[in-house]
Structure formats: structure tokens, C-alpha cells
């Protein structure tokens, strides 16, 4: 009987916790008790008579294996929202939902729950798969969408209301090929990539097309792995080593790249490694010897060690909010998204009382001529398809910091 | 009529249909009255899909007694073949409902055929071995679909398992593009079709269970040697359950795929298989109505807990554990059986009363 009572208590406890959560749900961003170090200033002080706050929503993976990206974007956005609300003027109410990086039902239900909340602008999703599912919904609902980090070409092509803050994958692959042509024209190139990941496969597509156009010597183009067998990448490294590659292209995320660098070091293989924007963050991987990344070339629009005021202030605030974690390009993209939206909304004169469809039409018009200076680039503009144009920046890791490639 | 109702199995079966029909009518009425929010409206089709998946898996796990961990693989085959068929028939069949139906049937047939091919070697195994092989099958399917490219151009339909072999002429359109999955899907799925799918699944599974075949399948589950000794062809009956289950999962998968504008292979992974299995186990092995209810409740539960933000998946797991412990606790079982007795006692008294 004791056991039974204990179990009953446990059930009651869970239910009461659920009830607490439920009641605070509509005010999720206002509650500083949302447990993480969310800056309390996300709260929009609704002054008497002032226009209601503009509702901006984000979906991204907040739980599960991809949560690092979702949480980074959310962290960046929260900083931007807090800064804007502190300024007075147009106020922003921000809410994020977990889509588990899913490409169908979970993403759509995360989006639907934001829609029920009254979202006027979609500032997500974080991952490409979710973006493809949600972009089509935003087209139907006429909600403006600016994704910080979903980089597949198909995302922007979904509709005229869908915009991207990051480079598209094939473009990034093509820029990488161009840079190699300039700096390492005679190199024997090996490509390792994740064939189960749209980001990685998309870059490789663009890269190989451009590389054959430019006449680069690509010796290994089939050293692929998938999300299920990335625990050990030694085969792929060995393949490049045996083919005598002196430049290895690694278009995937930093956690796997850390493995590649570590393994290459143990077998004494030291080609030039070349990564894309997903490589940003490699210097902060736990248990990874950052010395191994010396000489690594990466194409990233954001450098956390930059000394301009905006970046320094952002990095300080992000570290303070997230227990000392250094922000990566996902966080910076999130921060820029909120500012781009804010600038466009101010210019268009929309606020919380404007219906979502009108906000969408007004912002589409603004983004055609908008130019934004942000953490990830100066003078960023968008084309008619919603793809961004900003200068790709290539960095090389020297003494543990990024230095522009000479 | 009374005679039919006195049969306990028939009563349970009719109750299952009744629950589903009433739920559909209520949701439909609320929807037309504008009482449903976007979230709730979004749940309707996936709930129908997961109910069909849970019921079809219950046929395999609960009735046939075979543990399958690859149900999402069949769902994935159905989803992708359904999406491709629907895209190809776009100019041939104008009626959306008919096209959806054709896509679902094709999805089911593809999954059923693959189920048969897999079944030939796999059903020679028993117990844990079958679980391991179906698990591997699910992962293989996921990886194949994840590398599949399909599209149409002026020369017709093309399909390949790598991007280098896939060359579309100018103006060609991809339907499925590898790790990006199927994109730009025209959303055909409707709640009505979901409801019809659930009814169809229930009809097939419940009739199969109560037929001669069904009794043979249960005999195989309960005692293989005894079943063999009375002349039951064990492999044939297990195969029958396996293929029917795969077919229904394929149909549900096609409906799922056509409910979203994009679908990726990674959706049909081990986690989804386990999720469906959880619906079946918590609803009760072999209990069809239980599967229907648990699939609905457990699908909505994590969504309803969105207010908990980052803690909801942890709580979801805790709730699952508690439900499992709670429903299996002898005290609760005793309590439930007392209530069931009282209810059926009232029922019987009334019946006796009317007989007089």
C-alpha cells in the first residue's frame, strides 16, 4: 500500500508541475523563472496607451542532438530583443518553440502553436529540414519569414515571403572552390562530407560543380559518412591520406571536424584543412586540443574575437547569459535577424497591432531595398528570391584566433 | 441483434468503431464551428496516421507475438512512394481525393511487397533475432531513402541512388532529393481521409483477428509447437500478419507524407519505430481500442506540454514511466476489475430486466 501511495504522490507531483508550466505558458518569455539565464528584459513593458508589442516567433531544436544550434540562435535573439526593448520605441515580444529539428509534423506543430500565440513574424526555423516544412505554411498564412541559419536553396525558393540570413549551401561551396583556385591552385583536394545532411551535401554539390569548372584537382570526392556512422571518421581521413591529398575540404559541423583533426594528428597527416561556416565553434569543443586547429582555414561570416564594439558587447552579453559560453555564428545570425526585422519594421511603420499579412507585405517591400550592418557582415542586402548577399570572409586559425586569410 | 451484442468480442469491436466515429464527429463539428486553434487542427491528420500505425503494429506485436522494431521503415516506404506517385499523377488524375487514395494504395502495396521480401528471410527467425533484424531493416530503409533522388523532366521519370548518377534535363523538377528529402509536396491529406484510413485499418485488423486465420495466428503466438502439431503452417500465418501490418503502415505513411510540404528520411528512424511501439505497449498488447486511445493521448501529450519549454521531453519520459508502472500495479488492476465487474453487473441486470 505504501508503494501505491508513493506512486500516487509522484503522479500528483508531475501533474502539478505540468499545471504550473501550463499556466505560465502564455507568458513564457515574460517569466524570468523560465529557469535558464534568459535576460528578464525580454519582457515587453506595455506602457499605457502605447502600441502593443510586435510578436516575433522562433522554432528550432531546443532539445535533442541538434539543440546546440537552436539554443545558440535563441540566445542571440534574446540579446537583440532585450537591447531593442531597452531603447523604448517599438517593443518586441519574443517566443521560441522546440521543433526537435524535425522536417514534418513536429516542426509544423511548433509553428502552429506560435500561430495560436499570435505570431506576426517568423524569425526561424534554425534547421533546413524544419524550414522546408514551415516555409510552405508561412506562404499559405502570409507570415513573413527570415531564417537565421537554414541554408538550402529550396528554402528561399519556397515563396516570395521567405528570406535567409545565411549563405545558401551551393553558393558557399562555390566560394570555397574559388578561394582554393586563388590560394591553392595546385593542391590535390580531398572532400569528406556527411551524405545524410542536407547542409553538407548541398555545399559539396556546389563545390564539385565549381571545382570542375575551375579545373581544380579533386582526388577524393566520395569520402562520405552519415549521421549514423560518424562516431569514427578514420576511414575517410585515411582515404584522403592514401590519395595524397594536401588540402582536405570539411564542409560539416565542428563536432565531427574535431574528430577528423584529432585522428589526422595521431596518424601524422597534416594537410591544409578547409571548413565552412559550420566549422565556427571548433576552438571551443570540449576535450579538443585547440592547437590541432592551427592553420585551419574556414569561411565564416562571424568572428567572436573581433574587436569592433558591437561584437565585443554581444560576446560579453552572450557569455554572461549562457554561463561563459562563447557565441558561434548561429548566435550572431540570430542577433542579426532580429535587428534586420526591427529595422525593416521601423522603416515600414508596422507594430503589434498590424495584422500578420500586412506585416508580411510591408516587410517584403522593405527587404527589397534594405541594407543592414550586423555582426555577420556589413551592408547586407537581399535579392528578389530572398537570398542574402554579403561578403564571404575566409579566416585562418593562427595562435588560437581567427585571422583573415592573406 | 441482442445475440450479437452478447458476444464480448463483437461488443468490444463495435465500441472501438463507435469511439472513433464519435471522436471524428465531435472534431468535425468543432472544426466547422471554428472552435479549433491552428495547433489542434494540425494534430488531426497525424493522430489518424499514428492510430493506424499503432493498430497495425499491434496486429504484429500483440496478436502475432512478434516484436518488430522497424515499423517506421514501412511507414517511410509508404510515405516516399506515395509522395512520388502523387506527384507523377498530378496531371493525370485531376481529383485530389482520388489521387490521395491512389497514392495511399500504392504506398501500401509498395510497403507490403517489401514486407513480403523482408519476411521471407526474417520470419525464419524468432523472438529477439526478429527484433534485431527488423531494427536493421528500418535503418537500411532510412539510409536508402536518404540517398534517393527522383525527379521528372521532358524525358519522363528518373530515379537514382546518388546525385552524380542523377542528371535531369533543363527544366526538370526534383521530387525527392537525397538528404533534403521530398520537398514541395502538394498537401493532399485531409482529416476525412485520415478518419477513413483509421476505419479501414480497424476493419481489416479486427476482422482478421476474429477470423479463422486470426485464431491460427494467435495459436502460433501462444504455442508454436502445438500449433504446428495441428497442421497450422506457422510461417505462412506469420507472413500474413507481417505483410498486412506492413501494408497498413505503408498506407498510413503515404497519408503522413502528403500532409506536409516536406518530409525527410531521417523522420523514419529508430525513434519513430520505438514511439509507435510505445503506443502499442501502453495501450495494451492485443488491445485495439487501447492502441487507438494511447496513440491519441501520447501524440498530443508532448505538444500539450509545450508550456514547460525545455523540460517537456524529460517530463514526457517521466509520465511514460509512471503510466507504465501505474497501469501494471496490482492494486490498480484490482481496482479496475472491481469497477469493470460493477459496470457489467449493472449491464447484465438491465438486460435481465428487459428480457422479462
Per-residue pLDDT reduced to its tens digit, A316-326: 999 999 988 88
Question: Do residues A259 and A277 touch, judged by C-beta distance below 8 A?
Answer: no
List the helix and strand counts (H, then E) for chain B: 14, 3
A177 shares its domain with A159: no
Range of the domain at A291: 169-300
A7 shares its domain with A155: yes
For residue A295, tell me if it sits in a domain: yes
- Report, as an integer, the average pLDDT of A77-90: 93
CATH number, domain at A234?
Answer: 3.40.50.2300
Q: Which residue has the higher pLDDT, A405 or B300?
A: B300
**Partner-chain contact A137 B261, CB within 8 Å:** yes
Q: Which residue has the higher pLDDT, B156 or A111?
A: A111
- On the 0-12 / 13-18 / 19+ scale of CB atoms within 10 A, A55 is buried
In the listed set A300, A335, A365, which residue is the last one of a domain according to the structure? A300
- Report, as an integer, the average pLDDT of B322-347: 79
State residue B50's pLDDT score: 97
User: Is A134's pLDDT higher than 90?
Assistant: yes
A173 shares its domain with A161: no
User: Is A1's pLDDT higher than 60?
Assistant: no
State residue A66's pLDDT score: 82
Interface of B with A in 152-191 (CB under 8 A): 163, 178-181, 183-184, 187
A133 shares its domain with A281: no
**Confidence at A28, pLDDT banded by 50, 70, 90:** very low
State residue B296's pLDDT score: 95
List the helix and strand counts (H, then E) for chain A: 12, 15
Nearest to B174 by CA among B80, B268, B76: B80
Question: Which of A70, A78, A105, A141 should one mutate to test binding to chain B, selecting the residue with the greatest count of B CBs within 10 A?
Answer: A105
Of A177-186, A228-237, B241-250, give the range with the top mean pLDDT: B241-250
User: Is B348's pLDDT higher than 70?
Assistant: no
Q: How far apart are the C-alpha atoms of A292 and A163, rounded to whole Å?
A: 37
For residue A194, give how far its alpha carbon lies from the nearest alpha carbon of chain B (Å): 9
* pLDDT (tens digit per residue) in B160-190: 887 777 777 777 888 998 888 898 899 999 9
Q: Residue B25 has which C-alpha cell? A: 464527429
For residue A348, tell me if it sits in a domain: yes
Using a CB-CB distance cutoff of 8 angstroms, which residues of chain B are in contact with residue A11? 322, 326
A177 shares its domain with A160: no
**Confidence at A126, pLDDT banded by 50, 70, 90:** very high
Domain count of chain A?
2
The lowest-confidence range among A151-155, A358-362, B85-89, B106-110 is A151-155
A327 shares its domain with A280: no
Query: E strand or H helix at A98, and its extent?
Result: strand A92-98
Q: Residue B298 has which C-alpha cell? A: 501520447
User: Is B356's pLDDT higher than 60?
Assistant: no
For residue A406, tell me if it sits in a domain: no
In the listed set A259, A279, A300, which residue is the last one of a domain according to the structure? A300
A28 shares its domain with A88: yes
Q: Residue A107 has which C-alpha cell? A: 516542426
For residue B162, give how far its alpha carbon lies from the nearest alpha carbon of chain A (Å): 10
Domain count of chain B?
1
Q: How far apart are the C-alpha atoms of A224 and A201, rounded to whole Å?
A: 9
A17 shares its domain with A161: yes
B267–A contact, CB cutoff 8 A: yes
A181 shares its domain with A56: no
**Average pLDDT in chain B:** 89
Using a CB-CB distance cutoff of 8 angstroms, which residues of chain A are in contact with residue B310? 35-36, 62-63, 98
- As for the ipTM of the complex, it is 0.86
**Average pLDDT in chain A:** 84
- Report, as an integer, the average pLDDT of A14-20: 45
CA-based Rg of chain A, rounded to a whole angstrom? 22
Q: Using CA coordinates, name the residue in chain A closest to B186.
A: A136
Using a CB-CB distance cutoff of 8 angstroms, which residues of chain B are in contact with residue A35? 309-311
User: Is A11's pLDDT higher than 70?
Assistant: no
For residue B315, give how far its alpha carbon lies from the nearest alpha carbon of chain A (Å): 8
For residue B43, tell me if it sits in a domain: yes
* pLDDT (tens digit per residue) in A199-234: 898 899 899 999 999 999 999 888 888 887 888 899
**Partner-chain contact B180 A196, CB within 8 Å:** no
B309–A contact, CB cutoff 8 A: yes
Query: Out of B37, B187, B308, whose CB is closest to A18?
Result: B308
Question: Do residues B83 and B258 touch, judged by C-beta distance below 8 A?
Answer: yes
Q: What is the pTM of this model?
A: 0.86
- Report, as an integer, the average pLDDT of A165-182: 90
Query: Out of B264, B267, B326, whose CB is closest to A7?
Result: B326
State residue B3's pLDDT score: 66
Nearest to A357 by CA among A140, A190, A51, A143: A143
* Long-range pairs, B326-331, Cβ under 8 A, ≥24: B326/A7, B326/A11, B327/B282, B329/A3, B329/A4, B329/A7, B331/A1, B331/A4
For residue B59, tell me if it sits in a domain: yes
User: Is A41's pLDDT higher than 60?
Assistant: no
Using a CB-CB distance cutoff of 8 angstroms, which residues of chain B are in contact with residue A128? 180
Nearest to A326 by CA among A308, A306, A309, A340: A306
For residue B67, tell me if it sits in a domain: yes
Backbone angles phi, psi at A193, to 5 degrees: -150, 165
A269 shares its domain with A315: no
**Confidence at B4, pLDDT banded by 50, 70, 90:** low
For residue B71, give how far its alpha carbon lies from the nearest alpha carbon of chain A (Å): 17
For residue B343, tell me if it sits in a domain: no
Question: Do residues B76 and B251 touch, judged by C-beta distance below 8 A?
Answer: no
Classified as helix, coil or strand, B1 is coil
- Report, as an integer, the average pLDDT of A55-70: 89
**Partner-chain contact B322 A7, CB within 8 Å:** yes
Using a CB-CB distance cutoff of 8 angstroms, which residues of chain B are in contact with residue A1? 331
* pLDDT (tens digit per residue) in B280-294: 999 888 899 999 999
A362 shares its domain with A272: no
For residue B306, tell me if it sits in a domain: no
- Report, as an integer, the average pLDDT of B307-317: 82
Instruction: Measure Cα distances from B157 to B20, B34, B104, B168 in Å.
Output: 40, 42, 20, 9
User: Is A3's pLDDT higher than 70?
Assistant: no
8-state DSSP, A62: -
- Report, as an integer, the average pLDDT of B208-224: 92
Question: Do residues B133 and B122 touch, judged by C-beta distance below 8 A?
Answer: yes
Range of the domain at B91: 2-146+181-272
* pLDDT (tens digit per residue) in B23-67: 999 999 999 998 888 899 999 999 999 999 999 999 999 999 988
A119 shares its domain with A174: no
For residue A270, tell me if it sits in a domain: yes
- Percent of chain A with pLDDT strictly greater than 90: 48
Query: E strand or H helix at A94, and its extent?
Result: strand A92-98
Interface of B with A in 117-156 (CB under 8 A): 139, 143, 146-147
User: Is B112's pLDDT higher than 90?
Assistant: yes
Question: Which of A15, A18, A19 should one mutate to test binding to chain B, selecting the residue with the greatest count of B CBs within 10 A?
Answer: A18
Q: Using CA coordinates, name the residue in chain B closest to A152.
A: B180
- Those residues whose C-beta lies under 8 Å from the C-beta of residue B291, and which sit 6 or more positions away, are B51, B54, B55, B57, B58, B279, B280, B283, B284
For residue A186, give how far its alpha carbon lies from the nearest alpha carbon of chain B (Å): 25
Amino acid at each position: 500500500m505504501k508503494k501505491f501511495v508513493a506512486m500516487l504522490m509522484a503522479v500528483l507531483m508531475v501533474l502539478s508541475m505540468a499545471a504550473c508550466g501550463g499556466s505560465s505558458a502564455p507568458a513564457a518569455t515574460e517569466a524570468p523563472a523560465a529557469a535558464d539565464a534568459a535576460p528578464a528584459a525580454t519582457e515587453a513593458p506595455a506602457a499605457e496607451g502605447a502600441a502593443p508589442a510586435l510578436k516575433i516567433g522562433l522554432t528550432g531544436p531546443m532539445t535533442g542532438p541538434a539543440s546546440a544550434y537552436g539554443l545558440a540562435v535563441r540566445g542571440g535573439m534574446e540579446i537583440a530583443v532585450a537591447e531593442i526593448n531597452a531603447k523604448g520605441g517599438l517593443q518586441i515580444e519574443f517566443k521560441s518553440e522546440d521543433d526537435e529539428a524535425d522536417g514534418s509534423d513536429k516542426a509544423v506543430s511548433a509553428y502552429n502553436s506560435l500561430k495560436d500565440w499570435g505570431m506576426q513574424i517568423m524569425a526561424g526555423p534554425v534547421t533546413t529540414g524544419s524550414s522546408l516544412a514551415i516555409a510552405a505554411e508561412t506562404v499559405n498564412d502570409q507570415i513573413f519569414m527570415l531564417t537565421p541559419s537554414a541554408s538550402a536553396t529550396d528554402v528561399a525558393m519556397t515563396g516570395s515571403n521567405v528570406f535567409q540570413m545565411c549563405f545558401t549551401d551551393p553558393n558557399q561551396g562555390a566560394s570555397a572552390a574559388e578561394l582554393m583556385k586563388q590560394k591553392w591552385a595546385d593542391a590535390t583536394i580531398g572532400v569528406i562530407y556527411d551524405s545524410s545532411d542536407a547542409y553538407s551535401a548541398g555545399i559539396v554539390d556546389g563545390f564539385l560543380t565549381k571545382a570542375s569548372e575551375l579545373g581544380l584537382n579533386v582526388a577524393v570526392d566520395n569520402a562520405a559518412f552519415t549521421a549514423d556512422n560518424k562516431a569514427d571518421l578514420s576511414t575517410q581521413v585515411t582515404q584522403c591520406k592514401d590519395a595524397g591529398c594536401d588540402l582536405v575540404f570539411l564542409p560539416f559541423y565542428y563536432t565531427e571536424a574535431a574528430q577528423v583533426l584529432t585522428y589526422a594528428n595521431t596518424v601524422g597527416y597534416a594537410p591544409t584543412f578547409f571548413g565552412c561556416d559550420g566549422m565556427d565553434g571548433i576552438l571551443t569543443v570540449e576535450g579538443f586540443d585547440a592547437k590541432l586547429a592551427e592553420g585551419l582555414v574556414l569561411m565564416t561570416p562571424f568572428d567572436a574575437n573581433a574587436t569592433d564594439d558591437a561584437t565585443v558587447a554581444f560576446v560579453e552579453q552572450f557569455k554572461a547569459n549562457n554561463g561563459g559560453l562563447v557565441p558561434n555564428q548561429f548566435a550572431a545570425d540570430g542577433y542579426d535577424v532580429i535587428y534586420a526585422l526591427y529595422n525593416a519594421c521601423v522603416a515600414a511603420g508596422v507594430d503589434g497591432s498590424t495584422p500578420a499579412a500586412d506585416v508580411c507585405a510591408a516587410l517584403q517591400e522593405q527587404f527589397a531595398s534594405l541594407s543592414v550592418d550586423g555582426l555577420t557582415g556589413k551592408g547586407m542586402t537581399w535579392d528578389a528570391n530572398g537570398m542574402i548577399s554579403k561578403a564571404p570572409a575566409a579566416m585562418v586559425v593562427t595562435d588560437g584566433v581567427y585571422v583573415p586569410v592573406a | 441483434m441482442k445475440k450479437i451484442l452478447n458476444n464480448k468480442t463483437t461488443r468490444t469491436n463495435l465500441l472501438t468503431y463507435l469511439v472513433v466515429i464519435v471522436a471524428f464527429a465531435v472534431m468535425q463539428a468543432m472544426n466547422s464551428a471554428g472552435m479549433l486553434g491552428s495547433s489542434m487542427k494540425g494534430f488531426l491528420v497525424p493522430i489518424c496516421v499514428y492510430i493506424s500505425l499503432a493498430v497495425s503494429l499491434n496486429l504484429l506485436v500483440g496478436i502475432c507475438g512478434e516484436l518488430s522494431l522497424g515499423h517506421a521503415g514501412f511507414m517511410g516506404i509508404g510515405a516516399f512512394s506515395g509522395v512520388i506517385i502523387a506527384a507523377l499523377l498530378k496531371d493525370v488524375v485531376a481529383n485530389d481525393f482520388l489521387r490521395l487514395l491512389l497514392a495511399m494504395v500504392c504506398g501500401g502495396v509498395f510497403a507490403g511487397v517489401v514486407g513480403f521480401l523482408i519476411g521471407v528471410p526474417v520470419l525464419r527467425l524468432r523472438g529477439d533475432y526478429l527484433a534485431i533484424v527488423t531494427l536493421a531493416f528500418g535503418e537500411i530503409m532510412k539510409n536508402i531513402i536518404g540517398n534517393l533522388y527522383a525527379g521528372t523532366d521532358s524525358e519522363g521519370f528518373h530515379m537514382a541512388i546518388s546525385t552524380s548518377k542523377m542528371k535531369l534535363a533543363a527544366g526538370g523538377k526534383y521530387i525527392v532529393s537525397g538528404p533534403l528529402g521530398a520537398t514541395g509536396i502538394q498537401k493532399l491529406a485531409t482529416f476525412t481521409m485520415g478518419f477513413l484510413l483509421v476505419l479501414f485499418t480497424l476493419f481489416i485488423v479486427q476482422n482478421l483477428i476474429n477470423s479463422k486465420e486470426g485464431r491460427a495466428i494467435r495459436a502460433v503466438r501462444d504455442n508454436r509447437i502445438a500449433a504446428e502439431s495441428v497442421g497450422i503452417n506457422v510461417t505462412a500465418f506469420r507472413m500474413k500478419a507481417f505483410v498486412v501490418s506492413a501494408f497498413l503502415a505503408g498506407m498510413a505513411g503515404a497519408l503522413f507524407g502528403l500532409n506536409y510540404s516536406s518530409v525527410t528520411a531521417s523522420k523514419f528512424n529508430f525513434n519513430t519505430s520505438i514511439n509507435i511501439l510505445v503506443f502499442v505497449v501502453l495501450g495494451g498488447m492485443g488491445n485495439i481500442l487501447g492502441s487507438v486511445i494511447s496513440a491519441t493521448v501520447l501524440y498530443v501529450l508532448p505538444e500539450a506540454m509545450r508550456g514547460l519549454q525545455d523540460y517537456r521531453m524529460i517530463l514526457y519520459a517521466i509520465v511514460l514511466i509512471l503510466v507504465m508502472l501505474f497501469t501494471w500495479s496490482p492494486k490498480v488492476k484490482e481496482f479496475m476489475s472491481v469497477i469493470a465487474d460493477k459496470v457489467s453487473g449493472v449491464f447484465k441486470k438491465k438486460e435481465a430486466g428487459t428480457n422479462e
